[in-house]
Amino acid sequence: MTDTMSGLTLVSHALCPYVQRAAIALIEKEVGFERRWVDLADKPDWFRAISPLGKTPVLVVGEVPVFESAVICDYLDEVHAPRLHPEAPLARARHRAWIAFASATLDDIWGFYSARDDATYDAKHAAIRAKFIQAEAALEGGSYFAGARFSLVDAAFAPVFRYFDAFERAGVAGFFDATPRVRAWRAALAARPSVIAAAAPDYPERLDDFLRARHSALSRRMAA
Ligand SMILES: N[C@@H](CCC(=O)N[C@@H](CS)C(=O)NCC(=O)O)C(=O)O
């Protein structure tokens, strides 16, 4: 996926959900970009030089590195059509707030798959369910967060939902029992071409391997 005119390079890690947000936005906008992959376990000097927080994603625009996924998505939304944020400032602020909520949900997911003991595992399972109950109340009806139109909130939640494919492959379920609208939202996002294209074809296997190697309560269940 290369477009030498736009000169965009998305510095990526294969499993990073924040990278997927930016990739989804780029694909939705049909903006060509290159990928540069980085090993976060062994960060090279070129990466440290362009990523002040040492994190992916970084979008290099020409010579200028832009970091933080929400900032990258806002930038892309300002310069490339179609708009994926609402036009009205208050609606846009609300969408940005729900993107932050998606990040907080990712923190709970990290806590869940990293939990060493069963008590923490159960507490994180409950915290994630509670997050989805909150999201259920915020959904406006229709396939996506704000109805029929795909937005950057959808780009933020699509990689959140991908983790549950892995958890379900491991026989761990129950996260969406009380949230039918979130369930339908998850299914709509999983079918969206930009979401499918944002991750590599071997993403499920890589994620399973990563989760299995965590030495966590979830890893033990996966091995059982
Ligand atoms: N707030 C950042 C979070 C990005 C983030 O946490 N990236 C992770 C990978 S998914 C990372 O690069 N971690 C490496 C590290 O913290 O050393 C964003 O939205 O871009």
Per-residue pLDDT of the chain (224 residues; tens, 9 = 90+): 333 445 999 999 999 999 999 999 999 999 999 999 999 999 999 999 999 999 999 999 999 999 999 999 999 999 999 999 999 999 999 999 999 999 999 999 999 999 999 999 999 999 999 999 999 999 989 999 999 999 999 999 999 999 999 999 999 999 999 999 999 999 999 999 999 999 999 999 999 999 999 999 999 999 98
Predicted TM-score (pTM) of this structure? 0.96
Residue identifier of the C-alpha nearest atom 15 of ligand 1? 55
For residue 18, report the distance from its CA to the centre of ligand 1, in Å: 7
**Ligand 1 pocket by C-beta < 6 Å: which residues?**
13, 16-18, 40, 54-57, 68-70
Mutate to test the pocket of ligand 1, among 10, 39, 47, 56 (most ligand atoms within 8 A of CB): 56
Q: Is residue 86 within 8 Å of 151, Cβ to Cβ?
A: yes
Give whole-number Cα distances, 108 to 40, 103, 122, 126, in Å: 21, 9, 12, 10
d(CA 4, CA 24): 19
Residues 6+ apart with CB under 8 A from 165: 190, 204
The secondary structure element, H or E, covering residue 187 is helix 180-190
Residue identifier of the C-alpha nearest atom 11 of ligand 1? 55
The answer, yes or no, to whether the previous bond of 82 is cis (omega within 30 of 0) is: yes
